[in-house]
Chains A and B, each alone.
Chain A
Amino acid sequence: MINNIGKISRRALLASMTAAGLLLAGSGSAYAAEDITLGLVSPLSEPGDARSGDAIKKTADLWVKLINGAGGIGGRQVKLAVFDDQGKVEVGASAMERAITEANASAILGIWSSSVALAQMEVAKGYNVPLMAFYSWSDDITAKNYPQVFRIGPYNSQIAAQMVPFVKDRGYKKVVVLAEDTAYGLGFAKAFEEAVKAAPDVTVEVVQFQAQTQDLTAVMSKVAASKPDAVIVQTVFSATNLSIKQGREVGLKADIITGWDWPLLPDFWSTVGEAGVGVVYPTFSDPSLNITATGKTFVDAYKAAYGHEPAIFQYYLWDNFNAVKAAIEKSGSSEPAKLVETLPGVTFEGTIGPVFFRNEAGTVNFHQWDKFAMFFKKLNKVGDGEKEAELVQVAK
């Protein structure tokens, strides 16, 4: 076994020397035509949310294809270095470091879960490389005010604040927040408890459950017995469907307001059936949204490539990529440090309107784009999709 150790280290040594050699060769020969590498660190396998990871990867691939087809950025081709974070914080952090040190990524995109993002922020800070968040909702991501971290997408306290008027207008007095025991579930629950203080006559109870559960009947029985007016479900798709189905099974009569775009996933109706009727879901997407020319290009290309419409978070991701592109064009460099400097000042046409970052130091609105509207939609019959759903309220 002594020999084996020797082999490993020798191999490691050789590998690192070869890598260094290649880099030198690369930088020496053709600097102008050097490719731009963007790191994509996403949950591509379990226990991560591999489904969303797949959608992220599709979006990224499409963007790279379109950009390169149009001649790249400033004549330089773009390539992706894809890494799997498995939904684990430590894997995400080390994957990001590899994207930076091995692949020389100019910026890191594609992060999904807030917990992974929070760990990656330390890496971004350490290496001074931009980290682009889009659908990771933890306030901390921008509230920590790391100069390297940017977000084009919503965050918990803002979402929660926009939820409060809706709760008031609908006349709910007693609300249960059903939250999975993850950053996603509990992060929102906390933010909502905070935000709802603005409406003193609404009582809120947070019911926490294990994210990987397969049986929510007991939890839903308890929720049903407390006879709330509304249940806000904050969990990912499988438990979303379970909570609706099993909630109705145990006689839950309250309105169910469920997580974001989960009801639009193809397995929603086939799993919840009749129980899904009457469910309200908040979303950032609505046909009334003003899709820009950039957005149309994206949607058309996406439909052509994959045969279905992209979800709203993919719009934000598209904007993330375009933000990096804008920064490279503006600074004329793909150096990460240059991008960190340039990004706060970029403006460009996003998919649903102009994008620019708010840069209010000391607040959550630092390197944060927040021009999104929240739509509350109701599913009135089995099989309703985005187009059929009834728009019951808009929060801007």
Chain B
Amino acid sequence: MTQLFVQSLLLGLLQGGLYALLAVGLSLVFGILRVVNFAHGEFAMLGSFAAVFVVDMLGLPVWTGLIAAAVAGAAIAYATNILVLRPIYLSRMRQKGEYTIIATFLLSQFLIAAATLSFGTTYRKLPGLWDQNLAIFDYIYLSGNRIVAFVAAIAMIALLFFIVYRTDIGRAWRALTQNPLGAAVVGIDVNRYANLAFLASGAFAGLAAALLAPLMFVFPASGVIALVKAFIVVIIGGLGSIRGTLFAGLLLGVVEVMCTVYIDTGYTDAYGFALMIAVLLFRPQGLFGRTGRAV
């Protein structure tokens, strides 16, 4: 049975890498704007549809699909920020945080309904870069696409780390995350960096969805699943912490697979929720979140 254990652990880690990629954008945006974006999953869903369009309909190579997904995700995220969120967080209303949740929640419902209307409910499939099942030493079984997706996810998160810790954009982001008022005082243009954060957030979500597509399917309601996973990850990891997001993504992947295999196969999604509730009750700021009030 060690084979099953090792296999599950590995599957969980690989899956977790993608969860982390789905979630980093959400975490980034929250850190900078204190906005919990319920439409994040739809950035991913529309990104994967863009990939299907480019690869399936236009017949371009698979890697262009990844780019298309990232671009589409980024564009939609940008539009969401400008059209839906900015009017709210620039307004003088109370409980902006809660209100942006309602706005993005309704936006998400709208995008799902609109996508269902325009694309139909058909499940679509995207070819992967490495469409092959591997049997490593006849012990570990994996698809090549899963490895590609994981490697790409880790590379993208590494890139984000580089941006956050080594570039001016990243320094501004960090300043905004730690002290929004102070950052504004020293002349950091919140709008500009919020836009950049949304662009990055959408691009990561779209890319993650396009990497997941060869393993799963593309369909209008797929964003809901992506959103739920991303939420669980950012809450466990701590809203606004990229390091925490990576760790929590891997943790969620492993917990889901392990509990599914060793406890009950019928409750896969419930394990993530249970983990999230436990973390929120015992450490409301998340495993890597800073103490003190986040909002």
Contacts and interface: CB of A to CB of B under 8 A. Distances in A.
User: Do A and B have CB atoms closer than 8 angstroms in the complex?
Assistant: yes
Interface in B239-270: 256-257, 260-261, 264-269
B261 A221 contact: yes
Interface in A210-262: 210, 212-215, 217-219, 221-222, 224-225, 237-238, 241-242, 246, 248-251
B1 A225 contact: yes
Q: Tell me which of A50, A212, A217 has the highest count of chain B C-beta atoms within 10 A of its own C-beta.
A: A217
Q: Tell me which of A46, A212, A224, A251 has the highest count of chain B C-beta atoms within 10 A of its own C-beta.
A: A251
Contacts of B133: 248-249, 275
A250 B268 contact: no
Q: Secondary structure of the A side of the interface?
A: helix
Given A215-B216, A221-B7, A225-B7, A210 B268 contact: yes
A270 B222 CA distance: 19
Contacts of B96: none
A217 B131 CA distance: 16
B125 A221 contact: no
A51 interface: yes
B266 A210 contact: yes
B131 A273 contact: yes
Interface string A255-292: 00000000000010011010100000000000000000
B141 interface: yes
Contacts of B266: 181, 208-210
B79 interface: no
B211 interface: no
B215 A215 contact: yes
A181 B15 CA distance: 23
Q: Please tell me the size bucket of the interface on A.
A: 20 to 34
B11 A221 contact: yes
Interface stretch (B22-30, B115-123, B193-201, B279-287): B115-123
Interface in B144-188: 146
B4 interface: yes
B143 interface: yes
B88 interface: no
A247 B257 CA distance: 14
A382 interface: no
A250 to B, nearest CB: 5
Contact of A222 (B116, B125, B265): B265
Contacts of B260: 218-219, 222
Contact of B8 (A51, A210, A218, A270): A218
Closest 6 pairs (CB-CB, A-B): A251-B141, A225-B4, A218-B260, A208-B266, A218-B257, A249-B143
28 contacts: A46-B220, A46-B221, A210-B268, A212-B225, A213-B269, A214-B217, A215-B15, A218-B8, A218-B11, A218-B256, A218-B260, A218-B261, A221-B4, A221-B11, A222-B261, A222-B265, A225-B1, A225-B4, A225-B7, A242-B217, A248-B133, A249-B146, A250-B11, A267-B123, A267-B124, A267-B125, A270-B125, A271-B217
Interface of B: 1, 3-4, 7-8, 11-12, 15, 116, 121-125, 131, 133, 135, 141-143, 146, 215-217, 219-222, 225, 256-257, 260-261, 264-269
Given A218-B12, A218-B261, 14 more contacts: A45-B116, A46-B121, A46-B221, A51-B121, A214-B225, A215-B216, A217-B11, A218-B8, A219-B260, A219-B265, A224-B141, A238-B217, A248-B133, A250-B7
